[in-house]
A = this chain, B = another copy of it.
């Protein structure tokens, strides 16, 4: 049975999972040290793994590999840049091998490994092609084609938050463009769009009573029929649907998975996206299902470990 570690490097903490076969045996966390442009992060991870292994009688010589998810684009197994952490053209494998010897150290973007994790979680479905969205502070994504995560020419495959979808009154996006999916479908975008709609109308809304409301508040208000909140949710879902119709015409997946904090809204999100999707998509793709992500915060460690499976 293959033994591997899945390591999900985040801006605040690094989650580490130890797997035997498909089974997550144990997980632990180290803090992300941002000093010196993240120079200590990999050392900290390696030391935590060495400690864990010695405490659990695991022989690191028998480990098949180490998969890493990192918050930035990867080209040829090198991190191009990680603004949150400070890495630029950073060779994680080389650094890791200073502490733990392994030829099999593989990297992918964090949203990509989350996609791989969700794909793994659906292994009984016999899907080959999956599109994963993560709706959080931003909107990310990952794409599995023929059971393999794709990375693209510049490590940018699955940057689904930066599909241009809104052309009238389009908001500026962090990426430098305008009207990207992220501006209407991220937690931040949902709150911003709600604030704009509140400002532009006099319609009653329970959102007016809160000084600082969240994307969750917007969904909760929509669930009880608040008109402004409903409009924000409908708009978000319409643009997710248009983006998905574009994605379907490009890669024709077996399934769309919606993940990230915003996806905790649940059925209202799936049902509303699906309603618009069938309006915009070609007949051939109308039945492609939308499902909620299953693994939550563990998707990254599962997916990072999955990199080693293939």
Chain B residues lying within 8 Å of A159, measured Cβ to Cβ, are 249, 252, 282, 284
Contact with B along A121-134 (1 / 0, CB 8 A): 00000011100000
Q: A152-B253, A251-B251, A252-B156 are in contact. Are A246 and B164 (CB under 8 A)?
A: yes
The yes or no answer to A17 lying at the interface (CB within 8 A) is no
Centre residue among A161, A249, A282 by max chain B CB count within 10 A? A249
Identify 19 residue pairs between A and B in the complex whose beta-carbon atoms are under 8 Å apart, listed by A's number.
Answer: A129-B153, A145-B145, A151-B252, A152-B252, A153-B254, A153-B288, A154-B285, A156-B284, A158-B249, A159-B249, A160-B249, A162-B249, A163-B250, A164-B280, A177-B280, A177-B282, A243-B246, A247-B250, A251-B251
The yes or no answer to A25 lying at the interface (CB within 8 A) is no
Chain B residues lying within 8 Å of A245, measured Cβ to Cβ, are 163-164
Centre residue among A128, A154, A161, A279 by max chain B CB count within 10 A? A154
Cα distance, A251 to B164, chains bound together (Å): 15
Distance in angstroms from A289 CB to nearest chain B CB is 10
The yes or no answer to A73 lying at the interface (CB within 8 A) is yes
Cα distance, A249 to B129, chains bound together (Å): 17
The yes or no answer to A270 lying at the interface (CB within 8 A) is no
Known: A128-B153, A145-B145, A156-B282. 5 other contacts (CB 8 A): A159-B249, A160-B249, A163-B250, A175-B284, A246-B247
Which of B152, B157, B242, B284 contacts A154, CB < 8 Å?
A: B284
Do B176 and A283 touch across chains, with their CB atoms under 8 A apart?
A: yes
Chain B residues lying within 8 Å of A249, measured Cβ to Cβ, are 156, 158-163
Cα distance, A180 to B284, chains bound together (Å): 14
Chain B residues lying within 8 Å of A242, measured Cβ to Cβ, are 164
Chain B residues lying within 8 Å of A162, measured Cβ to Cβ, are 249, 281-282
Distance in angstroms from A244 CB to nearest chain B CB is 10
Distance in angstroms from A180 CB to nearest chain B CB is 7
Q: A153-B129, A157-B251, A162-B249 are in contact. Are A176 and B146 (CB under 8 A)?
A: no
Do A250 and B250 touch across chains, with their CB atoms under 8 A apart?
A: yes
Contact with B along A151-188 (1 / 0, CB 8 A): 11111111111111000000000011100100000000
Q: A243-B246, A245-B164, A252-B159 are in contact. Are A152 and B180 (CB under 8 A)?
A: no
Cα distance, A285 to B153, chains bound together (Å): 9
Chain B residues lying within 8 Å of A153, measured Cβ to Cβ, are 127-129, 252-254, 288
Chain B residues lying within 8 Å of A281, measured Cβ to Cβ, are 162, 164, 177
Distance in angstroms from A174 CB to nearest chain B CB is 10
Q: Tell me the nearest residue of chain B to A162, going by C-beta.
A: B282
Do A284 and B73 touch across chains, with their CB atoms under 8 A apart?
A: yes
Do A176 and B145 touch across chains, with their CB atoms under 8 A apart?
A: no
Distance in angstroms from A182 CB to nearest chain B CB is 10
Chain B residues lying within 8 Å of A279, measured Cβ to Cβ, are 177
